Every structure is written in structure tokens, then in C-alpha cells.
Copies of this chain bind each other. A is one copy, B any other.
Amino acid sequence: MADTIDFFFDFSSPYGYLASVRLEPIASKHGREIVWRPYLMGAAMKVSGRGALVSHPLLNDYTRLDLDRCARRYEIPFTLPDPFPVQTVAACRAFYWTTDQGLNAGKRLAQQLLRAYFVDNRNISDPEVVVSVGADTGLDSQGLKTSLTDPVIKERLRHETDRAITLGVFGSPFIIVDGEPFWGNDRLDEVDHWLSTGGW
């Protein structure tokens, strides 16, 4: 089987959400599986010293316009949520607890959490919202709730975030294909071309 594609993202990243929708058909076309790897981008930002686009004058207005334009172009339902950005610790922990029970269950939860935040404007920093979204995907609510404060899952998320930074990941989306890193929703065509050509 062909190697997997590592898809790093932060649950609070709108470009990460847009890329999560667009990457699926690209991976399918090339017969590749995606490994979803949510992490705490804030930790990487502490290392890089680079903050969110919307936290800067001038960039804020442009970024909002660009996000809407990208969503329209690819016909992806999207509204910048309020509040934005939010803490994603609960969403990440829920993901890792779920994915340990099955990659597909983890992926389904991730997709629904992103959708809850970026389409339905539900505040996924709230553990109760995370549990509710999880229940809607068929997960055991009590088990999911307990996982959010489970020391093993806490440590798992810390490890995944540290590992991402060690690999050079700093943004969202950040995609690694056969060792080659691609940062940004605007690099998906490059990912597609890389998979088609084997690199250039």
C-alpha cells in the first residue's frame, strides 16, 4: 500500500478546515490514505514567534475576505465563527481518544467538529459541545467525557504536538507527503502535482 499523507491542523484554523475538505478527493485520486493529526498550533507559534493572521492590522481584513473567497471558489460551506479563534484542547483530546478506537471514527469526529465550528458556529472549546458532537457521530458520551481529563490522553496530545514541532510543523494546514512538507490551503494544488509527478 502507498504511504499515507500526514495532515496536521488545528481545530480552530479556518484554512485547516477548508483544506480538510479539499484534501480528501486529492488523496483518493492518488490512492493514498490521510492520517489526520490535529495538534495545538499555539505551541508551535510559541516556538516560531509567529501569531495568527487575524491578530494583525491590515492582515485581519484581507484574511477574512480571502477565506470567504476560497470557500466560495471551492463551494465549501463556511462562516468565520464567533468567538474566533478558540482553545482546541478538548477537541484534540476527544480526537485522540476516538482515533485509538479506529481511524475512521477519529476522522468522522474531526470532520464533524470542524463542521460544528465553521458551519454551525458552535463553540468547540466547550467540552460539552465536543461531547455532544461526538455523541452525534455515535460515540459513547460517558467514555468521551471521561477521556477529556484522562492523564493518558492529555499526555498523548502533548506528545503529538511535540512530535509535530520536531517534524518542522508550525501552521495549519501542514501536509507531509513522502517526507515533503507543504504549508497552507494554497499548497493543495502543489500536493496534487507532487503526488502526480513524484516530485520535481
Of A41-49, A85-93, A126-134, the one touching chain B: A41-49
Chain B proximity of A135: nearest CB distance (Å): 37
Cα A193 to Cα B181 with chains together (Å): 26
Contact of A58 among B61, B66, B170 (CB under 8 A): B170
Residues in B neighbouring A187, C-beta threshold 8 A: 186
- What size tier do the contact residues of chain A reach? 20 to 34
> Known contacts being A56-B49, A57-B49, A186-B184, is A200 close to B62, with CB within 8 Å?
no
* Contact (Cβ within 8 A) A50 B59: yes
Which chain B residues lie closer than 8 Å to A193 at the CB level? 73
Give this chain's copy count: 2
In the assembled complex, the Cα of A61 lies from the Cα of B168 at a distance in Å of 8
Whether, in the assembled complex, A150 has its beta carbon less than 8 Å from a beta carbon of chain B, the answer is: no
The interface centre, meaning the residue of A59, A65, A66 with most chain B CB atoms within 10 A of its CB, is A59
Instruction: Give complex CA distance A57, B184 in Å.
Output: 17
Partner of A72, one of B57, B72, B168, B200: B200
- Chain B residue with the shortest CB-CB distance to A55: B49
Rounded to whole angstroms, the CA-CA distance of A63 and B166 in the bound complex is: 16
Interfacial residues, chain A to chain B (CB-CB below 8 A): 44, 47-50, 56-59, 61-62, 65-66, 69, 72-73, 165, 168-170, 181, 183-184, 186-187, 189-190, 193, 200
10 closest A-B pairs by CB? A186-B186, A58-B170, A48-B58, A48-B56, A50-B56, A49-B56, A48-B59, A48-B57, A72-B200, A73-B200
